[in-house]
Amino acid sequence: MFDFKNSSIERFAGRFNIEGNILSVERFGSGHINDTFCVRTDKVGGKSYLLQRINNHIFTDVEGLMANTEIVLTHLKQRLADLGEADIERKTLTLVPTHRGELYYGNTEEGYWRMFILLEGTRSYDIVETPAQAYSGGQAFGNFQKLLADLDASRLVEILPHFHDLDFRMRNLREAIDADGCGRVKEVEDVLGYIFEREEDMRTVLVMGSRGELPLRITHNDTKFNNVLLDQDDRVQCVIDLDTVMPGYVAYDFGDAIRTIINSAAEDEADLSKIGLNIPLFRAYTEGYISAAKDFLTDSEIDSLIHGVYLLPFMQGVRFLTDYINGDKYYKTNYPTHNLVRTHAQLKLVREMELHRQHLTSILKESICA
């Protein structure tokens, strides 16, 4: 593993085509995957930069990852220019090449590094607190998909294969059950019963896709609210964290966003009675998303959105349970049953959603007709 204590981060920043001399390099943000640093220079009125060390243990195809990023950013900038948008450099991320004109620098020993221009005067929120914020989040991701709707998804590499593939996740679960390396299967038989009972219904998006009813789009695949940058007045600036951008179905992005904002409790809440639905935030996000996306969505895609709402927390519950059965090897845990608690919390959220299926569906329909 790369040792930051004994290495000069400045020398990696110096590999890139920045303006001025480096004054400081400091850790930046709270991301858990990549290591990020803010680079400031002595250039008066000049730019500041974000230097990132890519986690190549998760993103093993660094070349493909950076090719995806360049393709997407180039297309976004061109689409914004075609629409006559002003200040485009603040509405998308901008890669900074190395002195050799490459998208990244690195090797297996030093790690893999890239750089973006820092968008000053922006902020993000880890938690959606108001309907206005939820609306902005929905609008941001809807517009992101809209701008990329005419870009051929086959041009992008599938950086994390089978990431939102329920069949793949269920195969992993069954393999964990068969191995039962930690002797935990017996204690979760009731949870497994519920999962297998609901499995076929949760395959709806996959089935629609396999029938050719859903076009393969370019999707973000990590639609947390903190991946939307806002200005000081909480207006949308741009969508960030493009590492998981790859071919997918729009229902995945919609469902994952709803999963993270609709829950009235924490993702690992042990008291299931506290888990409910924040309907006003669901309505606001849905209205924001549909306002931006309805012009390009097909009727089948619109129909698939509600299925994505149930699917994503269900699939996350499957992943937590698989990791619990395997001995907690993937997700970080704070106590022995943490992954099991997370599983119960996600599946309780699914049950709450299904209890309110008619209401959630009606909100979607109202948003389409608005």
For position 6, what pLDDT does the model report?
A: 37
For position 217, what pLDDT does the model report?
A: 96
Tokens of 220: 């973000």
Task: Give the pLDDT confidence of 59-70 residue by residue, as tens digits.
Answer: 999 999 999 999
What does pTM read for this prediction?
A: 0.92
Instruction: Tell me how far apart the alpha carbons of residues 225 and 123 are, in angstroms, rounded to a whole number.
Output: 11
Domains of the chain (ranges, CATH numbers):
9-117 (3.30.200.20), 131-369 (3.90.1200.10)
For position 46, what pLDDT does the model report?
A: 80
The β-bridge partners of 116 are 50, 95
The β-bridge partners of 236 are 230
Task: Give the pLDDT confidence of 329-338 residue by residue, as tens digits.
Answer: 999 899 999 9
Long-range CB pairs of 70-73, under 8 A, 24+ apart, other chains included: 70/95, 70/103, 71/151, 71/155, 71/156, 72/148, 72/151, 72/156, 72/218, 72/242, 72/245, 73/242
Query: Which stretch of 191-195, 206-210, 329-333 has the lowest confidence by average pLDDT?
Result: 329-333
Task: Give the pLDDT confidence of 223-258 residue by residue, as tens digits.
Answer: 999 999 998 888 899 999 999 999 999 999 999 999
8 A C-beta contact, residue 312 and residue 346: no
Cα 301 versus chain centre, distance: 19
Instruction: Specify the higher pLDDT residue, 31 or 47.
Output: 47
What is the share, in percent, of the chain residues with pLDDT greater than 90? 87
Q: pLDDT band for position 32 (50/70/90)? A: low
pLDDT at 3 over 80: no
Residues 6+ away with beta carbon under 8 Å from 273? none
For position 5, what pLDDT does the model report?
A: 47
Instruction: Tell me how far apart the alpha carbons of residues 307 and 255 are, in angstroms, rounded to a whole number.
Output: 8
Task: Give the pLDDT confidence of 93-106 residue by residue, as tens digits.
Answer: 999 999 999 999 99
For position 1, what pLDDT does the model report?
A: 46
pLDDT at 282 over 90: yes
DSSP 95: B
**Mean residue pLDDT across the chain:** 94
Q: What is the mean pLDDT of residues 97-116?
A: 95
pLDDT at 211 over 80: yes
Task: Give the pLDDT confidence of 307-323 residue by residue, as tens digits.
Answer: 999 999 999 999 999 99
Q: pLDDT band for position 127 (50/70/90)? A: confident
pLDDT at 182 over 50: yes
Instruction: Tell me how far apart the alpha carbons of residues 96 and 104 are, in angstroms, rounded to a whole number.
Output: 9
Q: What is the mean pLDDT of residues 49-66?
A: 95
Q: pLDDT band for position 43 (50/70/90)? A: confident
